[in-house]
A and B are shown apart, each in its own frame.
Chain A
């Protein structure tokens, strides 16, 4: 597709359930990011994937959060045993380049997660 695609766009889940959020980056983009945005707040870095390198997981808030990227393309963010404080918009982004040569990052529309 032309842009970063995320699904589902909206998800309501019960506290304690697991959820999976999917991201399909722009074709040919080697770098993929997950960010979280709570209501009225800025963007919080979660995790970064680049090619076959080990991902930077330094932003994941707890061990209930995990992410994988299969085949260097699609990524899935999994939240286990969801809590109400996990309610937020989860944004995926991708970029075509890495390194100091230039790194414009393009975002998807986000997955709005509500934990009830």
Chain B
């Protein structure tokens, strides 16, 4: 499943399929980006980050892609599992310390 376009607030994906969550960021000077996962009633949990001098970074079952030309960030989740159901936020660092967050995408995994 994929959230097509700049951003969609919800994404429904079949268990076992790959998920792609998209995010557009606002500041071309941002140099650091983070994806967070937030489960209901909990704080945001760090998933993966990427610096602006990279265009791809891989973690365990997750990959972040950065396209600075169009100011676009995506998170790919391989073999989506029920435990991946959550709200996913992208964040960009606007200066040395302040993060600005996107609106979030709610991912629902269908069994």
In Å, the complex CA distance between A5 and B32 comes to 25
| B98 and A45 contacting across the interface, CB-CB below 8 Å | yes
Name the B residues within 8 Å of A45 (CB-CB).
Answer: 98-100
In Å, the complex CA distance between A71 and B109 comes to 45
| B43 and A91 contacting across the interface, CB-CB below 8 Å | yes
| A43 and B45 contacting across the interface, CB-CB below 8 Å | no
Number of interface residues of B (CB under 8 A): 23
With beta carbons under 8 angstroms apart, the residue of B42, B89, B97 that contacts A31 is B97
In Å, the complex CA distance between A39 and B41 comes to 11
Name the B residues within 8 Å of A108 (CB-CB).
Answer: 43
Task: Closest B residue to A44 by CB, please name it.
Answer: B101
| A91 and B103 contacting across the interface, CB-CB below 8 Å | no
Interface: A107 (CB within 8 A): yes
| A48 and B45 contacting across the interface, CB-CB below 8 Å | no
With beta carbons under 8 angstroms apart, the residue of A42, A48, A99 that contacts B101 is A42
- Given A43-B89, A43-B99, A102-B32: 18 more A-B contacts, CB < 8 Å: A35-B101, A41-B103, A42-B102, A42-B103, A45-B98, A45-B99, A48-B98, A91-B43, A98-B97, A100-B32, A104-B46, A105-B99, A106-B46, A107-B44, A108-B43, A109-B42, A109-B43, A110-B42
In order of increasing CB-CB distance, the 9 nearest A-B pairs are A107-B43, A43-B101, A42-B101, A109-B43, A107-B44, A42-B103, A110-B43, A99-B96, A108-B43
Q: Which residues of B approach A to under 8 Å, CB–CB?
A: 31-32, 34, 36, 42-46, 49, 51, 89, 91, 93, 96-104
A-B contact pairs, 26 of them (CB 8 A): A4-B43, A33-B99, A42-B89, A43-B89, A43-B91, A45-B99, A48-B98, A50-B97, A56-B97, A91-B43, A95-B97, A98-B96, A100-B31, A100-B96, A103-B96, A103-B97, A104-B34, A104-B46, A105-B34, A105-B46, A106-B46, A107-B36, A107-B44, A107-B46, A108-B43, A109-B43
